Amino acid sequence: MSDTFVLVHGAYHGGWCWRRVASRLRAAGHEVFTPTLTGLGERAHLPAAEVGLGTVVQDVVAVLETEELTDVVLVGHSFGALAVLGAADRVPARIRRLVLLDGLVVDSGQCAFDGLPAEVRAQREADAARLDGGAAIPAPPATAFGLTDPDDLAWVNRRLTPHPLPTYREPLALSEPIGAGLPVSYLYCANPPYTALASGHEIVRREGWAWRELDTGHDAMISAPDLVTAELTRG
């Protein structure tokens, strides 16, 4: 059966990071969209100071609406999980199920920084203050995302861009319970774990969402594309 996948990247990344998974899904006959969120990737020239969480939620909603997509498998990696959860709240009828790949999860009314340890928030705020204008968080080295292959590290380091700081400060605004009543699967990348996301795992357990562990690092779509593809098509 052919499915429609919309794959949403995380902080510092862009739609480019899904290349390996997208090619595998397309080869299997699926339709795939890999939007880049405002202010990142090939859209990094746009002013970061004007990009809040609502902006990136609208980025995802706009893809679903303008492409007239329905019955979508909507996937969010890391920070992208918040964009996906926000979009699901807005247009649940267009979505069949959600997949959060090592996603950052917070409750409605909380911001992305609320889902991170205090010391991580402080470091990112300080790093942003050192950039010209202080509106974006500089990207860490690719090793921070659990990658070890030299070619992967070189590729990712070339592509990472600063992430708009306001997206971490603006609260997630939901009108419905988190997940919008849709089936949700959480793919936990366990080797090595990205420990900054641990508080969101309590929400996953509370909501009773499906939990699966992957034997790879945080940027699983790069380090283990076959494994991620298999999980996304598992249903």
The whole-number pLDDT of residue 1 equals 78
pLDDT tens profile 111-129:
999 999 999 999 999 999 9
DSSP class per residue in 106-174 = --TT--GGGGS-HHHHHHHHHHHHHSTTS-EEPPPPGGGGT---HHHHHHHHHH---EETHHHHSPP--
CB 181 within 8 A of CB 209: no
Residue position matching structure tokens 């199920």? 97
Active-site hit among 2, 23, 78, 175: 78
Bridge partner list, 73: 5, 97
Active site annotation includes 223: no
The whole-number pLDDT of residue 45 equals 95
Bridge partner list, 193: 190
Q: Exposed/middle/buried for 199, CB within 10 Å: 0-12, 13-18, 19+?
A: middle
Angle, CA of 132, 133 and 139, to the nearest 5°: 60
pLDDT tens profile 144-188:
999 999 999 999 999 999 999 999 999 999 999 999 999 999 999
Domain harbouring 149, CATH code: 3.40.50.1820
Number of domains in the chain: 1
Whether residue 235 has pLDDT greater than 80: no
Residues spanned by the domain of 57: 4-232
Whether residue 224 has pLDDT greater than 80: yes
pLDDT tens profile 190-217:
999 999 999 999 999 999 999 999 999 9
Bridge partner list, 136: 164
Whether residue 17 has pLDDT greater than 80: yes
CB 67 within 8 A of CB 33: yes
CB 146 within 8 A of CB 189: yes
Q: Nearest-CA neighbor of 82 among 142, 190, 169?
A: 169
Q: Where are the alpha helices (DSSP H) in the chain?
A: 19-27, 53-66, 80-90, 118-130, 150-159, 166-169, 198-207, 220-223, 225-232
Put the strands of the sheet holding 184-189 in their side by side order: 31-33, 4-8, 72-77, 95-101, 184-189, 210-214
C-alpha 107/C-alpha 203 separation (Å) is: 8
For residues 125-140, average pLDDT? 94
Cα first-last separation, the chain: 11
List phi, psi (to 5°) of 208: 75, 25
Q: Nearest-CA neighbor of 228 among 25, 83, 41, 71?
A: 25
